[in-house]
Amino acid sequence: MKLEIYQIDAFAHAIFEGNPAAVCVLDTWLPDVLMQAIAGEMNLAETAFLVKKNDGYRIRWFTPTTEVKLCGHATLASAHVLYEHLNHKKEPIRFYSQSGVLIASPESANYISLDFPANPPKPLDLTQEMIDALGGNPISALADDDLIVVYSDATEIEILSPDISKVAKLPYRGVIATAPGNGNGYDFVCRFFAPAVGVNEDPVTGSAYTELAPYYFDYFKKQKFLARQMSKRGGDVNVTFAGDRVHIAGAAKTALIGSLYLK
């Protein structure tokens, strides 16, 4: 059995930027254990699997070690594949996921906008365990599915060198370190660490902005943001807070198209 697979750099203006994701468009679902094995073989932060539905696509995402319920960059990559390689009309695409219906829409300049549910984080006490895991001088903490640790200066985010073994012990899917942009051209910056699901540092994490947008809406009292994820690859994300939804937009580039031989 031969499976066509695409590798897409999401939230990127050129290859080798942003966050790489693999995309497989299937006729029917493969066994879960096989999809997990494919994701492990690809060894990217996420591999997305799509199956056509009457008015859209069912979508599932796997890290190298586990299935996750929401992934932004692999959804953007999936929409890019459909638009650029599988002749989908340049109109909104409905993706049916564990997190509900997600909508991808084409925008100008090769951008794709994702309509995701907002996940407002709740304040919690900043503990010594969090400080020891991330380092630096954080000022506050919040949490939803992920732990958000807030710093006062963007430079601190750039130079953080977390203890990944300690980050993995924190009881969250991932840990977001963030700070306001402080005049660097971005409203805010962040990094995302998720060793608990097999990703030590994710280059650009679309789902993180479903939590960061409500926080920065309260912080800045505005709805539109330009954010920068300050990983080694890096990526720019346009973010709009819309009440119970968050719109996350970015560009994508095709890096590789190939065939995976399953037998």
Active site residue ranges: 46
Say if CB 189 and CB 230 are below 8 A apart: yes
Cα–Cα distance between 238 and 103 in angstroms, integer?
A: 16
Three-state secondary structure call for residue 37: helix
Cα–Cα distance between 46 and 59 in angstroms, integer?
A: 12
Report how far Cα 111 is from the mean position of its chain's Cα atoms.
Answer: 15
Cα–Cα distance between 240 and 194 in angstroms, integer?
A: 24
Cα–Cα distance between 51 and 46 in angstroms, integer?
A: 17
**Which H/E stretch holds residue 68?**
strand 67-68
- 93, two tokens: 């695409």
